[in-house]
Structure 1
Amino acid sequence: MEFHYKVVYSKRKTLTITVERDRSVVVTAPQGTSPERIQRIVESRKLWLYEKTRHAQKYDPLPHPPGKELVSGESLLYLGRHYRIELVEGEGQIEFDQKFVVPRHLVGKPLVFRKWFIRRAREKILSLVSCRAKNLGVSFKQAKIGDSKYRWGSCTPNDNVIFNWRLIKAPMFVIDYVVVHELAHLIEQNHTPHFWNIVRAQIPNMEKAKAWLLKNGTLLEQDL
């Protein structure tokens, strides 16, 4: 079986192979690595790639993902719970008090909600990143909130850590797991037993968090 893969060159000294949630294969290789060497390494990992690309946690995106409408009584997912939307008169902005209070003039403007989620992600996720980095004894250049289509988080070759804004819909124990997962890559680049030991030492309920993402990942993918 032949695998199609994308190659990304970096300043790191080791070559890594990643299978994204959409089952695509990305090879991150040191600058100057020949295509022939990359091909040989991919060939040597064929069995592993075959298993990974068929893992239940990898899924194809829904062809027509269900969305939310801004109507009273509808609910939105935030920090692992569904909260009701209540439409009100007025010209204000979205307010949250165990429900989403939404002025009617914002109906038809889903980007307003996306911006609200992104602001909350910056507040809650980025502060957690700083705290967890201290616990792990690692340093990063920048922590950012991004919009990667098939990753909850990433650790770049330049030691930046980036987290998908949609994560703010997940429970805090899941967000905590993803944050530690990416920061642990500053210690160990690959998903070796040592890597998982680092994550598990910080997140004893790691398997519970992974199971939650497996079950609810498609829900988080929705813009609303």
Structure 2
Amino acid sequence: MDAFVDKKKFWLFEKINYSPKFGEPKPETPFISGKAIPYLGKNYKLDVVQDPIDGISFQGKFLISQQNLQDGKAILEQWYKQKAKEKIVPLVERYAKQLGLTYNNILISDLKYRWGSCTLKGNLNFNWRLIKAPQFVIAYVVVHELAHLIELNHSERFWNVVRIQMPNYLEAKEWLRVNGEVVF
């Protein structure tokens, strides 16, 4: 048992002294015309309109009705969650098929400190905020979590699986490192 603990002491030290990848959430800017809203790696302008709109609309820019402004943050979050599901689920299906893998469930949720996770039961969890990142970054996180169904750690074998599926994975990792806090 002591040999096991000794072997894992660096890992244990990292986990005990873990600091979140992202700082405290930044104060929200108000929902006003001209506000920049990130989606798939780009910022789009928000237009507040007088016409009634159910929820939020995206037409090369975001549109929200004046009457929905008070609930704008919640409405946008719901829209993001729906779009994240629409983008992530097909990617999981595609890459799982390529890798010959099966998974249990896909959950799009509010992960506080992660972009994604994979459970021992084969459940894949993804942060809805990923929808703010470019598509190649979303694909990288999907491949990363699927690779954990093959290799539960970040060993050389794990990174080989990721590298084969996503040759530009280092670019995606760097994008998350540089921009992660901004879109989180």
1:105 aligns with 2:67: yes
CA–CA separation in structure 2 for the residues paired with 1:60 and 1:169: 15
Question: 1:167–1:151: structure 2 CA closer, same or farther, 3 Å change rule?
Answer: same
User: Normalising to structure 2: TM-score of the pair?
Assistant: 0.90
The farther-off stretch of 70-79 and 46-55 is: 46-55
Say which SS state the counterpart of residue 70 (structure 2) adopts.
coil
CA RMSD of aligned residues (A): 2.2
Unaligned runs of 5+ in 2: none
Distance 2:113 2:130 in 1: 12
Distance apart, 1:59 and its partner CA = 3.4
Change (3 A) 1:52 1:173: farther
Structure 1 gaps, min length 5: 1-36
Are 2:90 and 1:95 equivalent residues in the alignment?
Answer: no
Which of 190, 194, 197 is 2:153 aligned to? Answer: 190
1:208 aligns with 2:171: yes
Q: Distance in 1 between matches of 2:22 and 2:169?
A: 24
In structure 2, how many angstroms separate the alpha carbons of the residues matched to 1:160 and 1:97?
34
- Percent identity, aligned pairs only, is 44
Q: Is the 8 Å Cα contact of residues 126 and 144 (structure 1) preserved in structure 2?
A: no
**8 A contact 1:125–1:175 mirrored in 2:** yes
1:75-118 deviations in Å (ceiling 9; x for gaps)? 11100000000010122121101100111111121111100000
Q: Distance in 2 between matches of 1:102 and 1:96?
A: 9
CA distance in 2, matches of 1:126, 1:74: 29
Q: CA deviation at 1:180?
A: 0.3
The one-letter code sitting in structure 2 at the alignment partner of 1:114 is E
Deviation (angstroms), 1:48: 4.8
For the residues of structure 2 that align with 1:41 and 1:211, how far apart are their CA atoms?
33
Alignment partners' CA distance in 2, 1:169 and 1:123: 13
Question: Which structure is richer in relative contact order (CA contacts within 8 A, separation 6 or more)?
Answer: 2
- In the alignment, what sits opposite 1:85? 46
| 1:146 is the counterpart of 2:109 | yes
Aligned equivalent of 2:83, options 94, 106, 120: 120
CA distance in 2, matches of 1:81, 1:89: 26
Secondary structure of 1:77's aligned partner:
strand
Q: TM-score of the superposition, structure 1-length normalised? A: 0.75
In structure 2, the residue corresponding to 1:209 is in which secondary structure?
Answer: helix
Distance of 2:66 and 2:5 partners within structure 1: 54
Q: Pick from 164, 167, 178 the counterpart of residue 130 of structure 2.
A: 167
CA distance in 1, matches of 2:5, 2:116: 24
Q: CA deviation at 1:50?
A: 5.2
Distance 1:117 1:42 in 2: 42
